[in-house]
Amino acid sequence: MRWSRWFALVTAGEFLGFVAPAAVGALSTSWPMAATAPALLAAGAVEGSALGWAQARAFALPGLPVARFVLATAAGAVAAYAPALVPMAREGRVPLPLLVVGGLVLLLTIGTAQWLVLRSVVPHCGWWVATTAGAWMAGLLAFTAVAPPLWQPGQPLWLRVAIGVLGGLVMAAVVAALTGLAAVRVSRRAAPRPVRG
- Determine which helix (DSSP H) or strand (DSSP E) holds 119, and give its type and residue range: none
Average pLDDT, rounded, for the chain: 90
**Cα 71 from Cα 126, distance rounded (Å):** 19
Q: Give the tens place of pLDDT for each residue, 143-164.
A: 999 999 999 989 998 998 899 8
54-85 residue pLDDT tens: 999 999 899 999 999 999 999 999 999 988 78
A 10 A CB-CB count for 12 gives: 17
Q: How does residue 28 score in pLDDT terms, banded at 50, 70 and 90?
A: confident
pLDDT tens for residues 76-121? 999 999 887 876 666 667 677 777 888 888 899 999 999 999 999 9
| Alpha-carbon distance values, 154 to 118, 151, 157, 170 (Å) | 45, 9, 9, 24
User: d(Cα 10, Cα 12) in Å, to the nearest integer?
Assistant: 5
The H-or-E segment that residue 87 falls in is: helix 66-89
Smallest CA-to-CA distance from 84 within 140, 151, 129, 32 is with 140
Is residue 31 predicted with pLDDT exceeding 80?
yes
Spatial CB neighbours of 28, under 8 Å, sequence gap ≥ 6: 35, 36, 39, 40
pLDDT at 193: 46
CA distance 134 to 136: 5
> pTM, whole model, 2 decimals?
0.89
Question: Which among 180, 103, 100, 160 has a CA at the least distance from the CA of 137?
Answer: 103
